[in-house]
Amino acid sequence: MFTKAIVRKPAETFANGISTVNLGKPDYNLTLKQHDAYCEALIKCGLELTILDANPDFPDSCFVEDTAVVTKYFGIIARPGDPRRLGEEKEIKKILEKEFDHLYHIEEPGKLDGGDIMQADNKFYIGLSARTNLAGSKQLSEILKQYHYDVYSIPVCTMLHFKTGVNYLGDNNLLVHRDFCSKDDFKSYNRIIIESGEEYAANSLRINNYVLTPKGFPKTKAKIEKLGYKIIELEMSEFQKMDGGLSCLSLRF
Ligand code: CIR
């Protein structure tokens, strides 16, 4: 069970953040509205929220997931892989110091974005992407192994982060983008393959008794419902314009 989450309000500079998709500029008021709805959904899932003030110096800083990796017992401060985001992790460190007795750090030359790290029960998958390098992956892996987690690294070639394409719902159910579906690593899971046109919904998020899914992806929604989960659908259009998904907007523990 998760009991807490950290989120950060989108800054008015949000539209100046990093984006690779051609979906236009986000509307700031709509971004704030969607963020409020996201926070309400986390509260409905039973989480106590720490809501950090917006930081206009870092347009992407509402995507807090990339700045750390957290478990119930310890946290790891990441080292964002894009130089434009380097520094976001400093404020998160101050918050996580209050939450965890054991806090670790990814150090140079390691680069690591939390969006590349997926926990599935006692396993961790580390995506090797443009944002997470081998040095970062090795550092994280050593920390996780001290806590007896099994750790696997997976190349991410066609998308921003590992969790852009793969997300664990719990109960052995794994949402998988087709680019990852033939990977042997995932054969032991009940794989829910995301259909063409619904790729964005691969980043759906299980929190306690609910699965959060982005609005507008009915096939994925139906598949998740069929597994017996209660769904909260959220409008994510403005975050999608900046390459962000549901998991990116919070750190949950
Ligand atoms: C970036 O490129 O870093 C942001 N515009 C989007 C980050 C999304 N984060 C995530 O998938 N964990």
pLDDT in tens, 23-46: 999 999 999 999 999 999 999 999
Spatial contact of 201 and 246, defined as CB atoms under 8 Å apart: no
- The angle subtended at Cα 39 by Cα 33 and Cα 41, nearest 5°, is 105
Query: What is the domain partition of the chain in residue ranges?
Result: 4-252
Ligand 1 probe mutation, 23, 60, 236, 252, most atoms within 8 A of CB = 60
Residue 184 has pLDDT above 90, yes or no: no
Q: What is the pTM of this model?
A: 0.97
CATH topology of domain 4-252: L-arginine/glycine Amidinotransferase; Chain A (3.75.10)
Cis peptide before 80 (omega within 30 of 0): no
What's the 243 CA to ligand 1 centre distance in angstroms? 6
What's the 248 CA to ligand 1 centre distance in angstroms? 7
Band of pLDDT at residue 183, cut at 50, 70 and 90 = confident
Enter the DSSP assignment of 31.
Answer: H
The pLDDT tens digits of the residues spanning 44-72 come to 999 999 999 999 999 999 999 999 999 99
Helix, coil or strand: residue 121: coil
Please give the C-alpha separations between residue 33 and each of 49, 198, 238, 239, in angstroms, as whole numbers.
17, 23, 10, 11
What's the 179 CA to ligand 1 centre distance in angstroms? 19
Residue 103 has pLDDT above 90, yes or no: yes
The closest residue, in CA terms, to atom 7 on ligand 1 is: 244
